[in-house]
Structures are given as C-alpha cells and as structure tokens.
Structure 1
Amino acid sequence: MLNYKQLHHFWTVARAGGIVRAAERSGLAPQTLSGQIATLETDLGVNLFKRQGRGLVLTETGRMVLDYAEEIFRLGNELEEALQSRATGRAVPFRVGIADVVPKAIAWLLLAPSMDLPEPMRIVCREGKFDALLGELAIHKLDVVLADSPLPPAMDVRGFSHALGESTIGFYAAPALAARLAGDFPARLDGAPLLLPGVEASVRGPLLRWIEAAGLRPRIVGEFDDSALMRAFAEAGAGIFPSASLVGEQLCRQGGLVHLGDAKGVTETYYAISVERRLTHPAVRAISEGAHAKQNFA
C-alpha cells in the first residue's frame, strides 16, 4: 500500500528542486528526506530521481508520479477546506466548467438553482473549450461541465452526460437592421447579414441545413466561438443573431433586439457532464432538477 507520508516527502523534494533546499523549507534533516524517498522507490520498484551533476532531476516515471502527487495533495487541501467550510458555515466551492458556445444567459439560468441551496455554495466558473474542460473534469478540477452536446464517444474521458433540456432557436436583430429587412419571415433573411456560431457549436449544422432547406442565401458576415461576443456584434447592428428562444425575452428587453422569427425544427440541447452516473453533488442535482422544472425544458 502506498505510504502517503513518503509520497509527501517526495513531493516536497521535487517541488523544492533538491533535498537540501527541501530540508531547509520543511525543517527535516536531509538524511531523513533521502531515506524516505529511497524507501518509497524501493516499495514502488522504480527510480524517481537520477543524478545530474551534483544535483537530482526527476526521471520520466518521477514526473508521472509528481503529477499524481500534485493532484492527491490538491484534493487533500480541498477536502480540508470543505470540512472547515462546513464547520464554520463558510460557502463550499462549486467548480463549474462552461463551454464557450453556451450562451451566458443560459448558463445563468441553469446555475441559478444552485445559489438557493440551504448549504451556501461559492460558484467558481471556468469558461473554455469543451475538450479542455472535459480534461479538467477527468482529473476532478471541475465538479461539472455545462455544454451544448453530450460527451463525445471517442473522448478518452470517463464521464456521463445528463440532458437538462432544450430550446428552440430564434433570430434576432438590432431595430435599425430589422427595419431594413423586407418581406415576411423567413424570406427577410435572404441576402441579409447573418452571424453564425463557430464550428464547435452543435447548433451550427442544423441551422445551416434549415437555411438551405428554406432556399435562403444570407450573407454570413461573422462566425464566433464565444456566444457573448456574437451577441455584442448583433446589438451593434452588425448582423442577425441566432439564439436560444428561451432567453429571447431577455435579449429583446436588455439587449434591445427585435425577434424576427424561429427556425422551426431547430433546437439546442444543454447537458451537465459529470464523472457520476447518478448525480450526488447537491449543486449539480439542483441544476438538473431546476432545469427540468422550467418551462420549455424537457
């Protein structure tokens, strides 16, 4: 069985860059640290360090062990923090990854129920590319990832996709641009400037197919990985903005946009991806239960 005290000594030496420096920082004798690491190497049957000049450097195996040690002691610190938070009544961290293609208003709508739990939560949001967030989920740096698509089958990450619900997709435009569009919907999209989500957005393909099936040829003037940036361009009048109808009222009220119509049959589905088949984290359960209770969500 792994001796975590010896692993901690290894971790201390590796981070300090040498036994002498680690001894100065830890207050332990160099001989103690050296002996503990030698015992760990013997127990594991590997060499963690090798001599280079007058110093020590990590072997390839040592670097791998260090990665695991970093994660082990990071989780230990988080456990200690969580227990202290419970004891003192402080908010417990709830770490959420949000794929950058998910509209910010949708992310808030989904996360809101986690703010009303009896046990106070401190939400830590990380926005980024879907693949990168899944990597952080796999090593437990995140509790859940919110995305517009399920976990890809080919992804080498153990996780489970929990459908939260879906929304139809509508088209929105700044008032000045909307006033220049002739005809009824969807014909008024023909030849009009259109903003599109980037290639990673799951709704992009269905939108383009809907446009083609309707015989429309809008001018694509911009493509955006970040939904908030696409909305900013739309509010400035740069082009027509496709977005979840679920937040359409907010877009019109706060962003001053005009609803032109909906892409019939095109929907966007939102998922909570976790390492658990059954949701046990109270904040993640609250998100799932809250989403299913909202109107327009499945």
Structure 2
Amino acid sequence: MRHLNYNHLLYFWTVANEGSVARAAEALSLTPQTISGQLKTLEQSAGGALFERAGRGLTLTATGQFVYQYADEIFRLGGELALRLRDPGLMIPNRLKVGMVSSIPKLIAYRTLAPALTGPDAPQMTCREADLNSLLADLALHRLDLVLSDQSIPTGLNVKAYSHLLGYSDISWVGSPVIARRYSQNFPRSLDGAPCLLPTSSSVVRRHLDDWFERQGIQPRIVAEFDDSALMKAVGEAGHALYPVPSAILTEVWDTYGAESVGRIREIRETYFAITPERKLKHPKVIEITETARDRLFNNRNRT
C-alpha cells in the first residue's frame, strides 16, 4: 500500500461503524455496489479480508481491527481540523489515552487517575483495559500515553517503554460486617477453611497469596475466582465470603461496599507502576497523576 486512498478508507470506516454495507451506503449517499467494489480494492491493498459475515451484518477481522484503529484516529483528527478551520478560536479538548491491566483494582485505578479528571485543563480521557503485552504494544505505537500496571515491564521484552514506580500497598482481608466479625478472631489462622473470593491464578497478587497460604499452612475454601477485582468486591458485598484488597483503599472499600477489615498481611505487597514511552515524564497530566499517587494514595514516595 504505497499510497493510501482515503476515500476507500472512509468507506471502510463507515461500514465498520454502521455494521453493514447497506447502512453505510445510505449514510454516504452511495450505492452498495460502489462501496463493495471500493472495499475489495482496499482489501487487495491491505493484503487480506477486512470484514467477515456475522449473521446479517459484518464484523471486523484481525486485519480489519488493525486498520480501523488507524482509520478512527485519522477521521477523528480530520473532524477536529474541520472544526478549527471553521472556527480558529475553538478550543479542542486535549486528550489522555490510558491503558490499565485487568488485574488493577478499579478503586486504585480511579484514585490514581482522579487528579486528571478535574480542573479547567482536564483532558478528555480514554481508558482501555487489557493484558500488559497488548497495552505495551499500543503504547509503542503511540495509541496510549500511559499504562497503569501491577508489574513492571517484563524482562527481555523488546519495547521502548519505561516503568515508573508509583508505590505499593500491603493486603487486607475484608468482608461484610457479619462475616468480618466471625473471622477476625485468631487472624490469620481464622482463614483456614474460611469461604474466600480470590483473584485468578494469572494475577501477581494471587501467586503471592498462594505462596503465603502454603507458608502459613492455611487452606481457605475458595468460593470463586475473578479476573475483575470490581466484580469480586461486588460479590463480596453479598456477605458470603472474605476477599483481599489493597490496604491503601480500605476506606473506599468500606464506603463503596460496606466491607470491614478482618486482618492485614504486611508480608504481601502489591506494587503499582506507570509505564510511559519516555524515561523522563513530559506529559503534564501524567506527571500530576504519578506525583499525586506517590504522595497521597500510597504515601511511600519512591522514584525510578
């Protein structure tokens, strides 16, 4: 694809947004045959199919998803350019694109990002949740400005990015008031046989918890496992099991889920990082996020 045909790209982008060639043709005031023909030309240039059938509609292939990410950014910027040309004094909102690993507790993520959400210069924020490798790939392609992670960049990964330590938090076990009072006596031995909700084995904290259980000779009764920490807390709110949370957000867990502390495990620490494309932070909101997290959320100021 030596020269990109933006008309072809526009037809593709519209079909992807509308879900079918017919609806795209109506939106663009063109015939379906015209759009279908131009899509085939674009697919030949791209070297593969961009759509596949899904019932009566169309869904993007892997190649189509890749092309769509660029097309969406191109036409978003084009829309901004048109607005600025019509009204040179128009203020276009600045943007902050954030990726979060799925295992990051949502309350930790919110507390970390909160400083960027308020004030006259607050950016329009886009948040995406995925596994760390996918987010780092998007960071390398400048689709993200920042990645929040509970682990640093894996050793040996060939990506130009840098981990900035935000801080750490040990673990507290919590539960509804009734169940918390039942298991708070003789903690942590009270966890042996206790009904518990846990992160899945793919998370860093779960591996630390499993090691800790083994060292302590404790075998909890695992009621359920979760990739999503917010769902785990919501299930825990029903009051049938204990679950672990970062001690840094105990107040928020009480306010949001009505959970009380059963006990604290200081031997296990969750560590949190801001991962960016540059070694020295430049984006003013990323600087504000990292400084506030270090000073107020984790209260254990550390530098890379």
Place the TM-score, normalised by the shorter chain, in its bin: 0.7 to 0.9
In the TM superposition, residue 250 of structure 1 has moved relative to its aligned partner by 1.7
CA-to-aligned-CA distance 1:5-52 (integer Å, 9 cap, x gap): x53xx34346648xxxxxxx8xxxxxxxxxxxxxxxxxxxxxxxxxxx
Q: Output the CA distance in 1 between the equivalents of 2:261 and 2:116.
A: 30
In the TM superposition, residue 80 of structure 1 has moved relative to its aligned partner by 7.6
Distance 1:291 1:12, change over 3 A: same
Q: Output the CA distance in 2 between the equivalents of 1:163 and 1:76.
A: 36
Tell me the equivalent position of 1:297. 300
Tell me the equivalent position of 1:157. 159
In the TM superposition, residue 256 of structure 1 has moved relative to its aligned partner by 1.2
Q: Output the CA distance in 2 between the equivalents of 1:223 and 1:266.
A: 19
Q: Output the CA distance in 2 between the equivalents of 1:69 and 1:221.
A: 41
Tell me the equivalent position of 1:208. 210
The 5-angstrom pairing of residues 56-75 of structure 1 reads 56=41, 58-59=43-44, 71=70, 74=73
User: Are the counterparts in 2 of residues 11 and 70 from structure 1 also a CA contact under 8 Å?
Assistant: no
User: Are the counterparts in 2 of residues 11 and 69 from structure 1 also a CA contact under 8 Å?
Assistant: no
Distance 1:79 1:285, change over 3 A: farther
Question: Secondary structure in 1 aligned to 2:210?
Answer: helix
Q: Output the CA distance in 2 between the equivalents of 1:106 and 1:182.
A: 25
User: Are the counterparts in 2 of residues 166 and 297 from structure 1 also a CA contact under 8 Å?
Assistant: yes
Tell me the equivalent position of 1:49. none
Q: Write the letter of the residue equivalent to 2:299.
A: N
TM-score scaled by structure 1?
Answer: 0.74
The 5-angstrom pairing of residues 86-101 of structure 1 reads 87-101=89-103
RMSD over equivalenced CA pairs, Å: 3.6
Question: Secondary structure in 1 aligned to 2:129?
Answer: strand
Distance 1:56 1:293, change over 3 A: closer
- Name the stretch that deviates more: 180-189 or 204-213: 180-189
Q: Output the CA distance in 2 between the equivalents of 1:61 and 1:122.
A: 32
CA-to-aligned-CA distance 1:53-88 (integer Å, 9 cap, x gap): xx7464576569x96897388358549849959953
TM-score scaled by structure 2?
Answer: 0.73
CA-to-aligned-CA distance 1:190-213 (integer Å, 9 cap, x gap): 110111112232111111111221
Q: Write the letter of the residue equivalent to 1:102.
A: I
Aligned counterpart for 1:167 among listed residues 169, 177, 182: 169
Distance 1:251 1:11, change over 3 A: same
User: Is there any run of 5+ residues in structure 2 with no aligned partner, and where?
Assistant: 13-27, 29-39, 49-62
Distance 1:79 1:277, change over 3 A: farther
Question: Secondary structure in 2 aligned to 1:242?
Answer: strand
User: Are the counterparts in 2 of residues 193 and 240 from structure 1 also a CA contact under 8 Å?
Assistant: yes
User: Is there any run of 5+ residues in structure 1 with no aligned partner, and where?
Assistant: 18-24, 26-54
The 5-angstrom pairing of residues 268-287 of structure 1 reads 268-287=270-289
Q: Output the CA distance in 2 between the equivalents of 1:238 and 1:177.
A: 7
Tell me the equivalent position of 1:242. 244
Distance 1:223 1:73, change over 3 A: closer
Tell me the equivalent position of 2:17. none
In the TM superposition, residue 288 of structure 1 has moved relative to its aligned partner by 1.1
Aligned counterpart for 2:179 among listed residues 177, 180, 184: 177
The 5-angstrom pairing of residues 22-37 of structure 1 reads none
Aligned residue pair count: 262
